[in-house]
Chains A and B, each alone.
Chain A
Amino acid sequence: MKSAWDVRGFSAVFYKELRQIMRSPITFFLAIGIPIIQLLLLGYAIQTTVEHVPSVMYRGDRGHAAQAFTDAVNASRTFNVVGYVNSREELRAAIVAGKARVGFDIPENFTADLLAGRHPAIGALIDGSDSAVAQIAYGSAIALGGVPLRAVSLAPKFSLEVRPYVLFNPAMRSADFFVPGLIGMILQNMTIMLTSLAIVGERERGTLDQLLVTPIGSAGLMLGKLLPYAIVAGIDFVAILITMRFVFDVQIVGNLALLAFLSAGFLVTALGLGLLISTFAQTQIQAQLMSIFLLLPSVLLSGAVFERSLMPLTMQIVGLFIPLTYYIDILRGIILRGAGVVQLWPSIALMFGYGILVFALASYRFARTTR
C-alpha cells in the first residue's frame, strides 16, 4: 500500500510532463496566448463607467439660474446634451424613442421662484431600462442641483454642495475593478482545464497502470504533474500583468513581490483542484464537464465580475467555498488599495489552507482509488 505522501518519482514525472508540454508548440502557444486574448476582449468589452449619457433638455425659463444649470449639464462628463425641445411632451417622446436616456425639465419661472425662496424643482426624467446607467444618472442629476443655488449668490443659506470624493479608483474607471478580477478568473480557468485532464489522460491512454507498477509515489506523481503546468500558468500570470499595466493602464499600488508570491499560491491551489477533478473523472470528457460545472459559479460568485457584498447572504456563503474568492480579494487589495499581509491575512490563510486541503485530497483519493 502506497502512502498518499510518497513523493518519490517526482522529478521523473516532472521532466516527462514538461517535455510533453513543450513537444506540442501549438498547445504551448494556446496556453499562453488565450489568456492574453481573453483579457483584451473582456477588458475592453466590460465597461461600466457611465459617461456621455445622451440627454435632452426642456427650458421653460431662460433666467441666469436656469442658464447656470444648462451650462453645468453641458460641462459634465456624465451628460451629453443632444438636443433642446420645446415641450414636455417632446421631452418624453425623445426618451421613449431612445434618442436620449435623460430629459431635464427646467420649469417656467425657475429663476424667479428660486430667488423668492419658493424651492422650485428641476425635473429629470430618467430611462431606467439599464439600471447601472440610470443609477449614475440619478446621482449625477441630484448633484447638479447645487449648481443653480450657487449661481444665485443671494441665497447662500440654501447652498448645499455635494462634494464626493472617491477612494482608490478616483476616475471610477471600471477597468480598475474588472481587470484584476479577470486575471484571477482567466488564471483559474486555464489551470483547472489543463490539469483536470492530467491523470484521466493517463488513464484513458492506458499508461496509468504502467506508471503504477513503478516506485513512483502518489504525491510524487501529483506534484510532478502539477508543477510543469504551474510554470506555464506563471508565464501566463506575467503576460497578463504586463497587459493590465500597459494596455489597460491599471497601476499596481501594492507590493509586486507579494502579489507574485500569493499568485503562485493561488495557481497551486487551482491546479490542485484540477487534479482532484482528474481523480474523479473516468474520461477526459467527464473531466471537462466537471471543470465547467465548477468554473461558472466561481466566475459569478467569487466577486470577479459582480461585487460580492451586493449578493444575497446565501450566495455570499457559497462564495466562501471558492478559492478564487480569496484570490480576487488579494488581487484587488494589492493592485488597487496597496494592501499588505496585515490587511489581507484572512484571505491569504484561507487560500493556502484551501490549497493544501485540495492537494491532500487529490493525493489521498489517487492513492486510494488506484490500489
Chain B
Amino acid sequence: MSGVAVFADRLTKRYGDRNAVNAVSLSVPAGSIFGFLGPNGSGKSTTIKMLCGLVHPTSGSAQVAGFDIEKDSDSVRRSIGYMAQGFALYGDLTVSENLEFYARAYGLGRNAEKRKSNVIEIVGIGPYAKVLGGHLSGGWQRRLALAAALIHNPSVVFLDEPTAGIDPVARRDLWDLLFTLTAAGITFFVTTHYMDEAERCSSLAYIYLGDMLVYGSPEEICALPTVTPNGTVRYAVSSNDVMETFRRVHSVPSIREATIFGRDIHVVVDASEPKGKLARDLSVLDDSVAKIPPSLEDAFVALTRASAASQ
C-alpha cells in the first residue's frame, strides 16, 4: 500500500439531484493525522461513512488501508476503527462490558481479553473499568469510544467530531493520545470545527457544500492566493469599541474583507493603502493596526466566501 492509508478518487454521493459529496479526491499518508473540515451539512460525515462502508458511493472509488471500499468491504471493516459522533456506545453497560462486546463483534476470540486490557491501558481508562458507560464524563466517554475503535488493532481510525462538547483539558489530552498512537503507525482521519485542532493536523481538507475547496498542509493552505489575493495585505485592527470600528469598515473602499475576532478585526486591504491612512479612516491609533499572516480560520473564511461568491 506504499504508505497511503486512505486514497479517494472523485468520490461522489448523490441524494436525489443534490450532490452531498462531489468528486472528492484525497490521499492520506500512513501514520499521519488528517483533518477534515467544513461547515455542518457540507458532506464530512457522508464522506467518512463512504470510506467506512456505511454508505455506497454514487460514483468514484476509494481504497482504505489498501483495500477497495466496494470490492473488499470486509477487509476494510477489519482494518478500520470508527468513532461516531456523540456517545455511540452503551450507557447501560460498563466500560469493560462495552469493550468485551466489540471484541466479540470483531471475532477476536482468544485474543479478546488481551486486546481489551491493551486498549484499556492505551487510553488509561483502567480505574473506570466497572463504571457504566452512561455514568462517565464526556471526556472519558470519548476515551472509551476510542478504546472500542482500537480493539481490533486497526491501521486507520475515523473520528467524527471526537472532541465536540468536551472540556478543553480533556480535548488536549485526547489529541496528545492521538499523537502518541500515530507514532505506532496508526492513521487518524478526524473531522473537527476547532481551528486549534486543525493546526495540529499534518494535512487538511476543507469541504463546502459537497465540494472539496482545498487540500494540503496548514501552511500550504494559509499561503493560497485565494486567502490573501495578490496586491492585498492582511492587518489586525484592535479597538476598544469593536462594533463601532466594524461599522466604519463599510465606508472604507480599500477594505476587501473584514471579520471580527474577539477584540480584533482582521481586514484584507489593498496593498496600495498606507497603514496610517487605514488607522485614520477607522479612527484608531496607528499602533493598533498590525500586519499579520493569515490564520487557518482566516483561510477558511476567505475560501468559503470566495466559493459562495462564485456560485
Which residue numbers of A lie inside 8 Å of B, CB to CB? Answer: 1-2, 8-9, 11-13, 15-16, 19-20, 23-24, 205-207, 209-216, 370-371
CA distance A24 to B91 in the complex (A): 12
B186 adjacent to chain A (CB < 8 Å): no
List residues of B (250-287) whose CB comes within 8 Å of A's CBs: none
B55 adjacent to chain A (CB < 8 Å): yes
Report the nearest A residue to B97, measured CB to CB: A19
Q: Is the CB of A24 within 8 A of B107?
A: no
The one of B78, B101, B148 in contact with A16, judged by C-beta atoms closer than 8 angstroms, is: B101
The one of B54, B82, B86, B101 in contact with A206, judged by C-beta atoms closer than 8 angstroms, is: B86
- For the A-B complex with A11-B104, A210-B89, A214-B102 known, give 17 more contacts whose Cβ atoms are closer than 8 Å: A1-B56, A9-B107, A12-B101, A16-B90, A16-B104, A19-B93, A20-B93, A206-B85, A206-B86, A206-B87, A207-B90, A209-B54, A209-B82, A211-B105, A213-B53, A213-B80, A215-B107
Q: What residues of B have a CB within 8 angstroms of the CB of A215 in the complex? A: 74, 77-78, 105-107
Q: What residues of B have a CB within 8 angstroms of the CB of A207 in the complex? A: 84, 88-90
Q: Is the CB of A371 within 8 A of B90?
A: no
A8-B107, A9-B105 are contacts. A209–B84 as well, Cβ < 8 Å? yes
CA distance A181 to B59 in the complex (A): 55
Q: 6 A-B pairs, CB-CB below 8 angstroms?
A: A9-B107, A211-B105, A212-B54, A213-B53, A215-B77, A215-B107
B173 adjacent to chain A (CB < 8 Å): no
The 9 closest A-B pairs by CB, nearest first: A12-B104, A210-B88, A213-B82, A214-B105, A12-B105, A16-B101, A209-B84, A206-B88, A210-B84
Q: What residues of A have a CB within 8 angstroms of the CB of B53 in the complex? A: 213
Q: Is the CB of A209 within 8 A of B80?
A: no
Q: What residues of B have a CB within 8 angstroms of the CB of A206 in the complex? A: 84-88
Q: Is the CB of A209 within 8 A of B88?
A: yes
Q: What residues of A have a CB within 8 angstroms of the CB of B106 in the complex? A: 214-215
B9 adjacent to chain A (CB < 8 Å): no
Q: Is the CB of A214 within 8 A of B77?
A: yes
Q: What residues of B have a CB within 8 angstroms of the CB of A24 in the complex? A: 92
Q: Name the distance in Å between A89's Cβ and chain B's nearest Cβ.
A: 73
B171 adjacent to chain A (CB < 8 Å): no
Q: Is the CB of A371 within 8 A of B104?
A: no
Q: What residues of B have a CB within 8 angstroms of the CB of A2 in the complex? A: 73
Q: Name the distance in Å between A278's Cβ and chain B's nearest Cβ.
A: 17
CA distance A13 to B105 in the complex (A): 7
Q: Name the distance in Å between B107's Cβ and chain A's nearest Cβ.
A: 7
The one of A8, A11, A16, A371 in contact with B54, judged by C-beta atoms closer than 8 angstroms, is: A371
Q: Name the distance in Å between A262's Cβ and chain B's nearest Cβ.
A: 32
CA distance A2 to B90 in the complex (A): 24
Q: Is the CB of A371 within 8 A of B92?
A: no
Report the nearest B residue to A207, measured CB to CB: B88
A23-B92, A209-B82, A209-B84 are contacts. A216–B105 as well, Cβ < 8 Å? yes
CA distance A19 to B97 in the complex (A): 9
Q: Is the CB of A213 within 8 A of B55?
A: no
CA distance A214 to B84 in the complex (A): 12
CA distance A8 to B82 in the complex (A): 19
CA distance A187 to B220 in the complex (A): 65
Q: Is the CB of A20 within 8 A of B82?
A: no
CA distance A370 to B77 in the complex (A): 15
Q: Name the distance in Å between B54's Cβ and chain A's nearest Cβ.
A: 6
The one of B74, B78, B81, B104 in contact with A15, judged by C-beta atoms closer than 8 angstroms, is: B104
